[in-house]
Homo-oligomer: A and B are copies of this chain.
């Protein structure tokens, strides 16, 4: 798998290190705002990376100095897309609703590709990170940010409740229910330090976008050196845990590991530990 397998408008895909993919949202002239083609393409390329044995960790960033992404390209969406005025439509509201369910479902599924990807995905946020930036990064596993990051759950300001994942995942991703409601109901902007304090991102806050991206790539490299059986199992079980009781989580874990403990990676890892060598794990 090489960069040339990935030819998407608005996305750069590179492989800076063995087993590490770097995906860059690339529409900087528009602050990386998303049009429909972009979320469809993001889903496609993450699916490609998901199934490649040459990839063990993914880093998601935004091109340009100003924004991870400003969110939905509202102008485009209001002209022909999901937010277009429908009052002159011939569809009755029920039929319109069926179309909306279909459309929202497809949009959500694109974003959820990041969560369903069996490999860890690290989002590195900087600059303007509004609306869809929150949805996207919450579907990733680890969130890092630069000091200049400015976040907002912006949707109420355009007359709608966020429906691509933020309202579902945010309360499960941070500790303070009061804070989650505060930022979602007021749409106020919050900065990197607040994001760290509330647990939306993992620390430390990096001084610049470059430093943050470098840290994200380094973390991905570190993860990619480990057993992919162990790493992918860990992501699976952590995601499962969020949505199940402790009793169910323990049972699922036992069943999952009933096969996974039969990997050669354990023997290899233990041996390397004794010999102080770096283990090499077979592709998955």
A residues touching B (Cβ–Cβ < 8 Å)? 74, 78, 82-83, 85-87, 92-98, 100-101, 104-105, 108, 112, 115, 120, 141-143, 155-163, 165, 167-182, 184-188, 198-202, 219, 222-223, 226-227, 229-238, 241-247, 249-270, 273, 279, 281-282, 284
Tell me the complex Cα distance, A232–B94, Å.
Answer: 11
Which of B155, B162, B257 has a CB less than 8 Å from the CB of A161?
B257
Given A158-B270, A238-B180, the answer on whether A185 and B120 have CB atoms closer than 8 Å is: yes
Q: Are B250 and A165 neighbours in the complex by a CB distance under 8 Å?
A: yes
- Nearest chain B CB to A22 CB, angstrom units: 17
Tell me the complex Cα distance, A181–B261, Å.
Answer: 21
- Nearest chain B CB to A156 CB, angstrom units: 4
Tell me the complex Cα distance, A268–B165, Å.
Answer: 24
User: What are some 10 contacts across the A-B interface (CB < 8 A)?
Assistant: A83-B270, A92-B262, A93-B96, A100-B258, A120-B181, A141-B181, A141-B185, A156-B231, A157-B273, A161-B230
Smallest CB-CB A-B distances: 9 pairs: A175-B175, A176-B199, A161-B233, A94-B263, A168-B249, A97-B259, A259-B259, A97-B258, A159-B269
Given A254-B101, A265-B159, the answer on whether A229 and B94 have CB atoms closer than 8 Å is: yes
Q: Are B160 and A233 neighbours in the complex by a CB distance under 8 Å?
A: yes
Tell me the complex Cα distance, A236–B167, Å.
Answer: 9
Q: Are B178 and A199 neighbours in the complex by a CB distance under 8 Å?
A: yes
Q: Are A253 and B174 neighbours in the complex by a CB distance under 8 Å?
A: no
Which of B93, B105, B178, B247 has a CB less than 8 Å from the CB of A143?
B178
- Nearest chain B CB to A121 CB, angstrom units: 10
Contacts of A97 in B (CB 8 A): 93, 258-260, 262
- Nearest chain B CB to A259 CB, angstrom units: 4
Q: Are A246 and B157 neighbours in the complex by a CB distance under 8 Å?
A: no
Tell me the complex Cα distance, A232–B156, Å.
Answer: 10
Given A93-B263, A167-B253, A181-B235, the answer on whether A246 and B243 have CB atoms closer than 8 Å is: yes
Q: Are A246 and B255 neighbours in the complex by a CB distance under 8 Å?
A: no
- Nearest chain B CB to A165 CB, angstrom units: 7
Given A159-B229, A184-B238, A202-B182, the answer on whether A169 and B246 have CB atoms closer than 8 Å is: yes
